């Protein structure tokens, strides 16, 4: 069952103090972003947050479940009414995750090697 856009908006609203919050629809569900990092998913109108040591410390003994079939377990957040708590969880999760590599950072070395190869060929 696909998640309702209203529920995705509600999750984003509850996490608004965690950083720059946004979502993106994917296959009828939604990825949740904080400061440009994917921190979780909204699937079947439930919030799943990427597991991190910081998140585990904040949650204590979190309920874990896969957001979709075949996925690894994420923290399943059942209680979304406390905006400050949801924001803190999203913020600490984003801080614990590595910075996303941009596609240009992967392509730049390849383009540089191709340019050097062309220069050697024309000598």
Domain spans of the chain? 5-121
Tell me the CATH number for domain 5-121.
Answer: 3.30.1460
Residue range 73-78: average pLDDT? 96
Q: What is the pLDDT of residue 112?
A: 72
On the question of pLDDT at 105 being above 60, the answer is: no
CA 16 to CA 22: how far, in whole Å?
A: 9
Position 101 pLDDT exceeds 80: no
The pLDDT tens digits of the residues spanning 81-98 come to 999 999 999 999 999 998
Among 40-44, 68-72, 110-114, the minimum mean pLDDT is found in 110-114
């Amino acid at each position: 069952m696909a998640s309702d856009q209203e529920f995705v908006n509600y999750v984003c609203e509850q996490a608004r103090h965690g950083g720059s919050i946004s979502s993106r629809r994917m296959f009828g569900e939604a990825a949740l972003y904080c400061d440009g990092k994917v921190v979780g998913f909204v699937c079947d109108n439930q919030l799943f947050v990427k597991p991190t040591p910081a998140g585990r410390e904040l949650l204590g003994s979190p309920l874990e479940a896969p957001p979709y079939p075949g996925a690894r377990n994420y923290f399943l957040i059942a209680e979304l009414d406390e905006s400050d708590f949801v924001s803190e969880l999203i913020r600490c999760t984003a801080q614990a995750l590595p910075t996303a590599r941009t596609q240009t950072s992967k392509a730049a070395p390849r383009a540089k090697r191709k340019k050097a190869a062309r220069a050697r060929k024309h000598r």
